[in-house]
Structures are given as structure tokens and as C-alpha cells.
Structure 1
């Protein structure tokens, strides 16, 4: 007898003597954090229990901080500990699958995004509890002083507890929705697309309103700041503060333990000691150091450069309710806080984009009133087509080149195509433009918000949907009006090799914003680090640090340097993986024992613990909807349970939200249902020129079906209903030829050639593109560009080919590593 595994997505039932009841394998999460100075060491313990009578595999999608250096994982079964080890991701997956087949208990920890992780735990015996322990180090965020005259500053410790639902644009690769359609786990339409090929690994099943899984969380934080702590508070949770001499211990209050929102813990320290911190470490990998510099530079509040501010606000369905209301309040305060000589405009986006005006408006009382009326009328609905909004704001007209343009993005960041957004900003943001990001909500996508502001040379800030906005607004204007240190240069004085710094090109600093710098000196020779820049008013600023690499230093500094290097390398691959980049990230992650997108932790028991021939069940752990996020805003006007969205669409008039319609349309494209089976018409738009809140009606087929809806409703910017948009590519016959395809037989090459001929490329490009990728289970995976041997460098062509490769469906039986050389002659 062979093993059979029933794959479920949470919401399984256990039959008791009285009735069926829901059973959930994740019982409890314990978080223990110790903060020393600027660093936090955090241990997260996830407790899984098998409530079934068969062997269980539990799969849990969960968040961690996007800057966390995850460097350890282990499994505890009773009094036994199974230590995890870091491996290349594909190797770790193979070890895990083999152990699962053998009946060994195994754990696999993978990173999907900088802030999204997957924990898989195989072969849990019936009735057994297993604990998974994950450890990471993090550098705390300095949030600035509460007022310009303050001597001290505030630090923030944030621990995310739930992954918010990610909107997935693009053309479907295959049907692989992970939701079961049960009442406890409504269907998540997070299918893999050519833009987000790992979408099915980003969203856990979300429990409908009124349903609880029983999973709770406890958090203990110990703070040893090194200086006096003046105030500790949390805008997100009820907390208990227990003073213990120089250390403060903080715990969650007993009634606030549901893991459906980020824990935000802020504490203020006093004294000038907060201005500068230097930490060093020496080991086998060289000498490492961290510098936290908060320049004590005076600035005048009336020294303000005229700005042109363009606000970009997310009005998609996930913003419905409190998050949008908070964004509207922030917008009103931002508009009223602009300087008299500033100009401004507003762009909002969901499925489409709209704008207050076609050009920047002078900051007059009349224009302010017009803008506030526009903000007050905003409503939430539809999908998060953020790329359209980003392109609109990056291309917004400039009428006065002498003004410093500032883009202010307000969003929860609930998207799966983060890299596409970041790449667009990286490629097209003008040197004189800065981008600031604000996340409003309980569990926003901090990875996107932090990274887009970093690439945009601005600052990011997260504010809860129920948090007062006055202090946030005041601090934002202090910072945006006062860049206090620009043109920052780093110079090393001393013997031996030059240190490697991250960030390699330090950004401009704003009021109360620190410079956080990580460095590595391979030979560990001491020396001096000179940091210089141009302060407000044109004055030259310089500070010098004497660095000695002591063997007794803080080992966490090395991990944070490794994490900073990985982030720097990943920023160079926002448009897609490259062979050199993947190898560099992998080598760094293995050398520093760090989790990354190309490495994973795996732990396997020595003994066989279950009968591998018996049936087992695999459960994906469902999670809570983030606090304050509207279930209907995310899922549309559909019922909580939809068993089969493709085969059970009723033939008759059905009202769907735009977001639900777009999801259904993608399923139609991936299925055998033709678009000609439906007469799709737009009804009852809520406002002229907007489809964000409109409903769609599915009617019985007409004699002559009209055209499908406007391309504005397409799921991505380039393709509508699977057909290349003529605005992007011209029509060229057979623009691609396969020169070499090791790993494929003649039939496979013929099928791939036929598939690639559907790509329409703009004329004028020629050369070779070389890709490496894996084929398994009927899918193309891990597409990596070998840029060193590719002669064609045009990014739009490479992206078009990469997306086409993502949608190719090879044989289910084929498992191979393919080296593909394509010749482009357009």
C-alpha cells in the first residue's frame, strides 16, 4: 500500500461523540524578545498539535519583520531537540520530502518574501504536540524625538502577527487555489500568475467573520536600553510593564492575545547618548561593525524649500472601512499642513487610477477645499493594481522644475508583486524626486513600505487605523521640510583592506533620522571611519569613529551585516533573478547561516516515527483577517463559501464586485469556459468615470456577444485577457528561435518553441538571452537569467520572455534542469 496524502487548507473537522467540531493544528505562539541598546534578539516558538487520528503535516504561512536576520530553527518533541541546518532551498526541500516519505518527523522553514515565511512540519503523530523554535536578530527602528527640542529619542519594536491578504495581478499559470471552500476556510483565489508565480505561497486561508481558530499568542519583551527609559507605550495592544531595576519587562495583557495585528512597542530614552552608537565584532569571517549616527544638527523651521507634493492613495477593497478613513484623515492633515509656496495634487488607485487635477495646483484656500472634498468622496473597492498608480505618479507633469517633488504613498501594501513596483520606482524615479510611504492599518506590508521609501530616498511610517494622526503629521512635516545632511561620504583611514559598507551609497538624512551603517573588514585591522556631508545651510559636517575589532564583541553584528548584504543584492534583482545575483545571495546566506529566498532551514529526526505506508493528512493553517480589514472589501459580494468558482457559476444574473469579477474572469481564462458564454455588462457605476465601486452582471449568452470590458479592468498593465497590448509590443512573426535547450528532448523543444512564438516583441532588438530554470510537476520554476553570457540586455524583452516561460505547461512527468539559449531577431 502506498501513502495517500489528503491536502486540505484548514478548517478540518474532528468527529466527537456529540458532533463534528473544527480542529486546528496551530495552538499557540510564544514570543520572547530581549533588547539591548539598538538590537533585539527574538525567539519565536510555534506549538503544533495533531487533533486527528491520522498522521498530520501542518503548513503555516506567517510574518516576521522584513529586516530580521533569521539564523536558527529547531524542533522540540517532548524533551528531545532536533537542530535545523541551513541548506540551499532546493536541497532543503528534497531533504524534507524524503524524510516525509520515510516517516521521519521533519520541519522546513522557507522565506517567500522578506516578511513572509512558510513553516512546514511533517509526520506529527496523532495527539502529539511539537514545538518549532525560530530565532532572529533585528536592528530597531529609531522613530525620532517627539518634539524638535527633545534631547532623547524613541525606538520602536514591531512584531507582525498575521499576513494580510495579498492581491495578485497577472495571467493565470494554472488553477491551484488553496482554499477548500469550507465555512471555516473560504476559498482564497490566490492562484499563481506570470507576474506572481509564487502567489499560492503568499496567502493562508482566512477565517470568515465570527470564526476563531483558537490560536493565541503571548509576548514578553525585556528592554535594557543602556540609558534611562522615560516612557513605554503600545498603540496596538494592552500591555503590562514590570520594572526590574535597569531592565523593563513588558507582556501582553491577558485579554489581548489574538494574533490579528502587529505588536507595536515604542519607548523613549533620554540623554545625548542616543546620538551615536558604535558596535563591533571579530570572528572567523572578519571584523564587523555597526554605526548608528543621529547628527545633532540644528535647523531652522522657517528654512523650507518650496515643494511639489503628489499624494498617491490606495482605494482598493482591502482599504475599506477604518484603513481608508485613517488615510483620508492623514490626507486632510497633510493638505492643511503644506507650506504657502507649495503645490500639490492627488491620485487614487484601485482597478483604475483617478486624479484631482491634470497638473499640480497652487496651495490656495480654494484648492485646499477642493482637495478635501475630493478626499472625502473617496470610497474603497476593487483590486490593488498598484503599478498603474505608481506609473501615473511617476509620470505626473512637472510644471516648475525648481521645486523639490515629493511623492507620498498611502497604502496597506497588500499585493504580491512587490518587486515589480520596486523595480518601476528604481528605474523611473527622477534624481530630484523623493518618495515617502505611509501604511495605515493593523498589519500592513512593511516590506513594501520600507523598501519603496528606501529606493525612493524618502522615509516610511506605519500608523494604525485607530491611532491619532496629529503627531505623525507634525513629525512628517518636520522631516520632509528639513533634509539636514546630504552628499554623505564614507572614508576609511587605516592599514589593510577597505571595509565593505551597506548601504554602499548612504541616503540623505532628514531631521531626527539616523544613519544606520553596517561594515565588514576582512583583515580585522583597526582604523578610523570618517563620515562627512553637507549640513543645512551649506555647512560641512564631519564625524570620526575609531573602530577596534574586539573578539568579545556582539556576534549579532555579523549577522546584521550579512542581512544587509543580502538586501543590497536582492535590490539589484528587482526585475528578475540573475545567475550572479542568486549565487552571491546564496553564498552569503550559507556563510552567515541566514534564511533567504534561496536558502532554507531543515530539521529531520534520526528515527522513523510513523508508518509511511499509512494515509496522512496535510493541513494549511488558517489565519485571522487582520484587525480593521473588511472581509467583504477583500472578497467582494460573494458568499463566504464557494466550492467551485469555475464549474458552479450560475447561468443567470449574478452581481459581483469588480475584484470578484476580475478573479472569476482569470479563472475563465485558465479553464475551458469561453468568454463567449457570457454577456458581461457594466451596470450602476457609482460615479462618472470610475469603475472602482461598480458591479458587473453575468447574463445568459447573447446572440452576438459584445466585447469584453475595457482594458482598464485587466489584471496587469501589459496584458488584457491573455492578449498582448498593442501599446507595448508590435507584431513580429517568429521573433524568437531556440538555439540550445539542454534538459529538453526534441518534443519538448518543439512545444516550447510553439509556446514562445506567441510573444509579440517591439522591433529593433537582436541578440541572445540565456535562462536557467527547473521543471517539475508541470511547471516552470526558478527562472534565472545568465546575464554574463546574454548579449541582449533590453529589460522589456527579457521580462516578456520570462513571463511567457512562467506560463508554459510542460509534461507533468518531466523533471529537469533546463539551460535555454534564445536568439531574438526582431
Structure 2
């Protein structure tokens, strides 16, 4: 009877799981095991203006004596436009191609069954990808080169670019059941440690094994080669996350050659690269123009005038929400505490506030928002000093509780959300923000070595706020101060862009801007007479004052384009992001398929509906030999106190995972049953 109850409970009612929530998880936890596939990665970047071309070379070596099919789940920047794949086996070079998702799967599976080497890369989230590699023989090495481009961020006078190299294990909310796996979505390859739920049906595909590297060893080594053409005199180039070697090429004072000072490092944290112009040399406007297939693509950046009338500053109601779940353990919780303490310190006497903590549930320091008196702030500071990390990441309840606060009309309501964003139900949460935000503004602060930047940035956009990221304790002061300044100063609102003729432009409506943020937009313009100027007028309002600026777009070069130009792909990526956001707002993440698919195919981009696949025409695995499925482990984020998770060497599918969990649960119930009888 106990066995029947235990199996039914596990398969039908397995609760929300997260890698470090031991008492609520049904996954196998492994530490210290070896893996069949060795991975090393090399990043090569060409940065010019606001765009970066990236070539990521992943080298996989089968160190076992068996044929192997490998699965590797890895992060990329949330705005990456992935468009090129090359597989190298010995002297053979196989170019990949973009195909519709189901077609690409069929292509890969046919090659896998035939004993051919093949690779398939699919997008699980805009910042998380799943790669399968088929039929790698004992001792063989396969190189996968992935080409993509990403946007350089400009904020408060600083240019930044971030390369994610690992991920924080996702919390998977909801009840697990096999029926929650969508029909047609069952995939081969090694599965992750989580079961599918209604909120996260692809949970097995986004929960790869993650380990702590053995002492003195590098689990997944990476190297770096960056060519930076800033186009302006630079005051500094550096990184808050890694030690760099920076050189200025002879005769090129505006350029830099950058590598890792240590040569190679472990892929256990995001790599952040930043640079600043010399005083007085920061751009007030920038534009980039290219032409493809008869259309002109333009990207503009423009800094509004910084005007501030102190009488325009309204009192605020600040709802400070802090993540105390298990994934925040270690250095992340300390960064969150320091950030929240700074936010409290900035509150003025006329302000109101409340402090919320969330993990498996949400609790508030005060029943409702209170005045920012010295006594109330002291109570909040004591609560922050006592907070500890542990439990799941039930973010839905925390956001709903924060938005339930309704500020009086005399106060501007602001929600500051401090978390690593380590959740799998991003679609559900973005829909909640869209529905419940009201008149509030949501400001997200991403904490830790490997936060979920896709969710954190999109949440801020949906919340009409801004996004801040803090990777190290040393960054708290430097990154929180600009955010606090934004909270205190009026926004640049009613931003309008008048183009010379009808265009497709993204974002469709330029959002309100905060202090230090530029107007950024990318557009596709049809041809116009060569003798007429393409004059763009940008206007807005700040602190009750109107401002207006004009830009004359330059002419694109007549150089021949090989493939889709970077700027055209950036436009395609922006269009896909807009269509995804519309689906999130509608509460149906699949409703945009018919619109996204043709855009992705036209601009040759990966998306949730298109994949990259490459197949070697020559079968290499003998028919008498079988290949086993294995997962390539990611490194645990630096500073994390979570234990290793996953199935480093398993060929088991989700059903086998359930059975293992069932045996564990049955054993636990049996022990409890015997103990109860003995006590009685």
C-alpha cells in the first residue's frame, strides 16, 4: 500500500522543484562524477560601435571508450542574433543551415539513426540553448563554431557587453506530470533533473547537470580574444568579473586588443566587459546605416538633454522586494542585502515604503506601506541583516503582493525587485506584470555570477522601469547609485520619433527614459529619392520642458554584402522580440508562431520556431555499435553554495528519472511508516 501511494504521489503530484530545495525535490543529486565529453570554449569578438560579432568555438572530446550522443545546455546573451553554425570533424567542415524546428529535428534524428555525425541547436529561451551532438566515437574531437551578434549597452556614460558562460539552476514551479509535456515536444538526448509542469512544460530541457569543479581543476575552460574599435578616445577599459590583458595596437589609438590575463578561466560566471570615453568625448548621438535587398536599415542612439527641476520631484512609495531563495546563497545574498540597504538609505522623509522577502512564500516587514521615518527604516535594516537564503523561488506570489500595494495619488509607486531571476516560468511572470502593474514602475536588479538576464531585462521593460545588474560585491555602490538617481529624478516622457516616411521601427513606442538612458531605436526604411535627406526628428519632454533634435541619416555604403548584414539581423531580432512580447501579454506564448517563423527564416536567425542543424554525409558509427546519451555539465555559478545537480553520465530518459525518484520516496515513506509504528 505504501509503495502504491508513493509512486502515485511522485508521478502525479510531484511539487515544484528546484536544485537546492532538498526536501521538495524528486531529482538525483550527484557530486564528483566524471563525464564522457570534455568541453573547452573560445570566444572571439569584433566590437564596432554598438554591435559585437561573436564567434564561439566549442571543442568536444569524447574521453570514454564508447560511442556517445552528447547534450549540452548553454547560455547566450538574451538579445543574441544567432545565425551561423559550422561543424568540424577532422579535416571535414560541414556548414549548418537554419530550418523550421520540426524539420531540423527530423534531419538530425535521421542522421543520428544512420550513424552520421550531426549537431542540432535549439532555442529554449532567448538566452538559453540546447545542443545535441550525435555519434562521436571514442577519442574523437568535434568542433562546433557558432556565429552570432549582440548589442552593446550604453547607460550613464558607460558601454557594456556581457557574455554569459553558465546558468543558475532554474526553480521549476507547479505540479509535475508527464501530460504537461506538449505533444510533439518529447526530445531524445539526455534529460535534465526536473520534470515538466504546467507552468514549465520544457523543464527537462532547461535543467542541465551542474557541478563544482574539483580543487585545482577547471571544469569547462574558456579563452577570449576581443578586438574593440570604440570609435572614440577611451579613458578606461576593464572588467568587474575577470582580470584582462588590454593592449593598444600601434597606430590605432581608438582600438584595443583584449584577452584574459590568466590565459584561460573556468566558465563559472558571466564575463562583463566595459569601457568609457575620455571626458567630453562621450557621444550625444550615433547612427549606423546599411542596405540589404533594396531596403535601408538604420539604428540611432541619441542622448536627451539632462534637465532637472527640483520642484518636479514627487514623493515616492517604494516597495522593495528581495529574493531569499536557495539560489541566492553565498555571495548573492550579501550583494542583495547591500543593495537593499542602499535603497533604504536614499528614502526621504516624505516617502513611504515596505520591504518584502520571498522564497517558497512571501512575507512583508510591515502589513502595508509606512512612512520612511528613522524608526521604520531601522526596523527594515534589522530585517535585512537577519535574512538568510533557503527554499524555492516562488516569484509569482511576490510580484502579485508587490503590485497589490496601491500608492496614494500624491506618491509615485516604484517596485524594486532584487533577485537572480532563476526561474523557468518566465512567460507566466511577464503576463502577470502586464496584467497587474497598474500605475507602478518595476525596476529589476539582477544579482549574482549568472543571473537570468532575459527575464530580468524583459520584466523591467514590461514594468516601464529599468534594469540594473550587479555581478560582484564591489559593483553594488557603482551600480546602485545610478539606479537610485533614476528613482529620484523625473523621466524623459512622451518621446516621439518622426521619420521621413512610413517605416517599421522597434520599439514601436519609445518608453519613458530615466536619467542617463539614451533613445535607441532600429528601423527598416524603404528606398527614397537619392537627392532627398532622410531627416529624423526626435522630441520629448523632461521636467515640464520640451526638447527637440534632428538627425540626418547617412548613406549606406555600396559595398557588396555577403549574407544578411548585422544591422538587418539586429532589426529581425528586434521584430521577433516584439512579437514574443505580444504573445506574453496575450498569455499564450505560442500564439506568435505564424508571425515569427517567416521573420526568422528571412533574416536567417534562430528562434523558438527555427533551429540550426549540420549533418556529415558520411556514416562513421558501425551498425554493430550503439551510442549512449550523455549530458555535458555546466559549472555552478561562482560564489554559489548550492550542491551539484543532475545526471552527468546517464542515458536515462524522464521516465527513468521518475522511477528513481519514486524509489527514493517509497523508501522515505517506508521509513516513516516503520518509525510511526515503533513510536506507537
2:322 equivalent to 1:310 = no
Q: 1:368-767 residue pairs with structure 2 within 5 A?
A: 368-398=377-407, 400-430=408-438, 432-494=439-501, 498-523=502-527, 527-536=534-543, 538-552=544-558, 555-574=565-584, 576-577=587-588, 581-632=592-643, 644-649=660-665, 651=667, 700=674
Residue by residue over 1:605-640, the C-alpha shift from the partner in whole angstroms, topping out at 9 and shown as x without a partner, is 1222222442112211011111111115999xxxxx
Structure 2 gaps, min length 5: 1-27, 182-189, 647-656
Report SS of the residue matched to 1:158.
strand
Cα distance in 1 between the residues matched to 2:542 and 2:169:
43
Contact kept? 1:192, 1:200, Cα under 8 Å: yes
Q: CA deviation at 1:79?
A: 3.0
Q: Which position in structure 1 is the counterpart of 2:108?
A: 96
Distance 1:523 1:255, change over 3 A: closer
**TM-score, length basis structure 1:** 0.71
In 2, Cα distance between the equivalents of 1:605 and 1:176? 35
- Other-structure match for 1:78: 90
Q: 1:67 to 1:250 in 2, by over 3 A?
A: same
Q: Deviations over 1:171-230 (max 9, x none)?
A: 1123999xxxxxxxx996411111100011111111256475642000111111000111
Contact 2:469/2:479 (CA < 8 Å) preserved in 1? no
Matched residues in 1 for 2:31 and 2:86: separation?
27
Q: Who is 1:6 aligned against?
A: none
Matched residue, 1:108: 120
Distance 1:579 1:324 in 2: 35
Aligned to 1:737: none
Contact 1:11/1:23, CA 8 A, preserved across alignment: no
**Partner secondary structure for residue 530 of structure 1:** strand
Q: In the TM superposition, what is the alpha-carbon distance from 1:578 to its structure 2 partner?
A: 6.6
Residue among 41, 54, 79 paired with 1:29: 41
Say which SS state the counterpart of residue 265 (structure 2) adopts: coil
Q: Which residue of 2 aligns with 1:217?
A: 222
The reply on whether 1:171 has 2:175 as its aligned counterpart is: yes
1:435/1:196 Cα in 2 relative to 1: closer, same or farther (>3 Å)?
same
Distance 1:297 1:424, change over 3 A: same
Judging changes above 3 Å, is the alpha-carbon distance between structure 1 residues 362 and 294 closer, same or farther for their aligned structure 2 residues? same
Instruction: State the 1:326 CA deviation.
Output: 1.1
2:153 equivalent to 1:141: yes
Give yes or no for contact 1:11–1:22 (8 Å, CA) kept in 2.
no
Partner of 1:299: 308
From 256, 261, 272, the counterpart of 1:253: 261
Q: Extract structure 1 runs of 4+ deviating beyond 4 A.
A: 9-13, 300-303, 575-580, 632-635, 698-703
Deviation at 1:375, TM superposition (A): 1.2
* Map of 1:348 onto structure 2: 357
Would you say the 8 A contact 1:413–1:445 is kept in 2? yes
* Residues 289, 197 of structure 1: alpha-carbon distance in 2 compared, 3 angstrom cutoff: same
Q: 1:59 and 1:479 mapped to 2: Cα distance?
A: 43
What's the CA shift string for 1:646-679, capped at 9, x where partnerless? Answer: 2134756xxxxxxxxxxxxxxxxxxxxxxxx689
Indicate conservation of the 8 Å contact 2:313/2:490, yes or no: no
| Corresponding residue for residue 48 of structure 1 | 60
- Offset from partner CA, 1:362-401 (integer Å, 9 cap, x none): 1111111011011112111111010010111111243x12
TM-score (norm 2): 0.86
Q: In 2 relative to 1, CA 632–106 (structure 1 residues): closer, same or farther, beyond 3 Å?
A: closer
Q: Which moved more, 1:571-580 or 1:74-83?
A: 571-580
Distance 1:34 1:78 in 2: 27
Superposed displacement of residue 552, structure 1 = 3.8
Q: What RMSD, in angstroms, separates the aligned Cα atoms of the two structures?
A: 2.8
Q: Which has the higher contact order (CA 8 A, sep 6+)?
A: 2
State the match for 1:808 in structure 2: none
Relative distance call for 1:645 and 1:213 in structure 2 (3 A) is farther
Bigger shift: residues 459-468 or 384-393: 459-468
Deviation at 1:340, TM superposition (A): 2.5
Return 5+ residue gaps in structure 1 as ranges.
1-8, 14-20, 145-152, 178-185, 636-640, 653-676, 680-697, 704-826
The alpha-carbon deviation at position 69 of structure 1 amounts to 0.8
| Shift, 1:103, TM fit | 1.7
The structure 2 residue matched to 1:119, chosen from 122, 127, 131, is 131
CA contact (8 A) 2:191 2:205 kept: no
Name the SS of the counterpart of 1:376 in structure 2.
Answer: helix
Instruction: Tell me how far apart the structure 2 counterparts of residues 650 and 332 of structure 1 sit (CA, whole Å).
Output: 45
**How many residue pairs are counted as aligned between the two chains?**
620
Q: Secondary structure at the match of 2:34?
A: strand
Corresponding residue of 1:806:
none
Larger radius of gyration: 1
Per-residue CA deviation, residues 238-291 of structure 1 (Å, 9 max, x unaligned), is 111122133111111227600000001111113345111111111116211101
**2:179 & 2:331 partners in 1: Cα distance?**
33
Q: What residue in structure 2 maps to residue 717 of structure 1?
A: none
Pair 1:95–1:28, CA change in 2 (3 A): same
Q: 1:229 aligns with which of 234, 256, 273?
A: 234
Aligned to 2:266, what secondary structure does the other structure show?
coil
